[in-house]
Amino acid sequence: MNKQDLAFTPALEQAQLIRNKELSPLELTQLYLDRIETLDSKLGSYFTVTAELALADAKAKTEQLATTDPDTLPPFFGIPISIKDLTAVADMPCSYGVAALRDKLPSHDRAVVTRIKQGGFVLLGKTATSQLGSLPFTEPAGFPPARNPWNLDYTPGGSSGGASAALSAGLCAIAQASDGGGSLRGPAACCGLVGIKPARGRVSLAPLGDCVNGLLAHGAITRTVADAAAMLDLISGYVPGDPYWLPDPDPSFLAHATAKTVKPLRIAFATKLDPIGEAAPECQQAVLDTVQRLEEMGHAIEQISLDLTDLLQPLKAIWVSGISFSGMPREILQPINQWFLERGQQVTSGQYLQAVAQMQMFCRRIVASLEQYDALVLPVFMSPTIRVGEWANLSPEEILHKSFEWVAPCPLFNATGQPAIVIPAGFSSGLPVGVQLVGRPAGEAPLFTLAAQLEAAHPWIQYRPPIA
């Protein structure tokens, strides 16, 4: 296998090559570091590359491999991974997309990082994010903008834009990411990848508390459905003190992703979201093509309507308050986050609690209305990927309005806490288009089975961006 093919090999297959001693962790890590050195100056996908730490860890793992029974190794032993720069790793810079904090070193690992380390991964560094994760594109002040490997004039999405750009270009094997309103799913769709936003409580937020009323979820962006399932198996689980949690799946998510038989399911779809309207033709077509394939597989399909009118205002109130929660001084924030900060400071505690209650009551109605369906197919974004800098000259209020319209299919399921998986669904003007499959509460397992069925029928692993 040549080096380029190896860089784009799914992580589980790479792990098997390491177990078979056909490949060493050191060789694989050096391969990705070489690609980062060659390509990342064009992409802006990494804020920090910890090459020395990665090589030292990979060397130690290579030595361990020589003296250890391969069957006792953790599932992703020796596999290089990127970590989003909103996720703290002890003694590794974590800027949160704020240039003034680019050298800040946290003293702790997030729980998801602890599990990633336990899984055997080699950490390559920290990927680019929008400042404080507040925007669906990745252009924080003081850093180069992250660019889409399929066309460098376009964004890879946000806030996990660096994660999706790095993985899409073959600069890591898996990308850790997070999603508070589409921040993982959007970038996966923009770059032709798989993205899993777990159900609320599936992955611990420890050691921190829940700062946005259950909207945030840690997940992953991957090349294949099986990689996504195995990654979720690894990072899931309760940490004492978590405000909410879910039991581990039985059997595993990977078992569901590799199931040989699939029972017929009842699946809903929508291409229109009131009060925003119909998705752009390219995004509609991706949904229609997907549901046609599902119908051909024997699933029952039904079109539905979704009305988000009662969600938008309370969600915006909660969203702008998140910048206030960060505690960041106004002077180190870029202008749009200064505006968010000012708006959030105008929301009283009573208004905030009212917004939370309104959001939760809306979610009760939505979840109840979807209970009869096993899954829901939706666009990821309402229109195609935007250009880098396309909204740079707009006012903060205009950017907020356009952002909510663009990502409208995503935040709903952060609010309800339902799981969603994004899969590639074709191309438009040379750029990937994705769809999201949404499950019942705590219902990731059937989503993995369904997504794997679509992947097997129309494989996407062979597609690579031109820069690769």
Instruction: Indicate the residue type of 89.
Output: V
**Cα distance between residue 357 and residue 339, in whole Å:** 25
> 403 near 161, Cβ under 8 Å?
no
pLDDT of residue 262: 85
- The pLDDT, as a whole number, for residue 1 is 84
At 320, the pLDDT band (50, 70, 90 cuts) reads confident
Rounded Cα distance between 194 and 220, Å, is 8
Rounded distance between C-alpha atoms, residue 94 and residue 105, angstroms: 6
Question: Does the pLDDT at position 427 exceed 90?
Answer: yes
| Region 68-87 average pLDDT | 97
pLDDT, tens digit, 9 for 90 and up, residues 279-316: 999 999 999 999 999 999 999 999 999 999 999 999 99
- Tally Cβ neighbours within 10 Å of residue 271: 24
Average pLDDT estimate for 345-349: 93
pLDDT at 207: 95
* Residue 211 clears pLDDT 80, i.e. is over it: no
Q: Where are the domains of the chain?
A: 3-457
Provide the 10 A C-beta neighbour count for residue 350. Answer: 8
Task: Write out the catalytic residue numbers.
Answer: 84, 159, 183
pTM of the full structure: 0.98
The Cα 166–Cα 191 span in angstroms is 10
Average pLDDT over residues 118-132: 98
Q: Which helix (H) or strand (E) holds 433?
A: strand 431-439
At residue 355, does pLDDT exceed 80?
A: yes
Question: Which of 133, 170, 127, 129 has the alpha carbon at shortest distance from 149?
Answer: 170
Share of the chain above pLDDT 90, in %: 95
> Tell me: the pLDDT tens digits for 185-209?
999 999 999 999 999 999 999 999 8
Question: Within 10 Å of residue 260's Cβ, how many Cβ atoms?
Answer: 4
Across the range 267-290, mean pLDDT stands at 98
How do residues 381-420 score in pLDDT, each as one tens digit? Answer: 999 999 999 999 999 999 999 999 999 999 999 999 999 9
- Report the pLDDT value the prediction gives residue 213, as an integer from 0 to 100: 86
Arithmetic mean of pLDDT, 50-56: 98
pLDDT of residue 324 exceeding 90, the answer is no
DSSP lists the bridge partners of residue 9 as: none
Identify the pLDDT of residue 319. Answer: 86
Average pLDDT across the chain, whole number: 96
SS3 220: strand
The residue type at 46: Y
pLDDT in tens, 2-35: 999 999 999 999 999 999 999 999 999 999 999 9
Q: Which CATH architecture has domain 3-457?
A: Alpha-Beta Complex (3.90)
Helix or strand (DSSP H, E) at 46: strand 46-49
DSSP class of 306? E
Q: Which among 161, 145, 163 is positioned nearest to 153, based on CA atoms?
A: 145
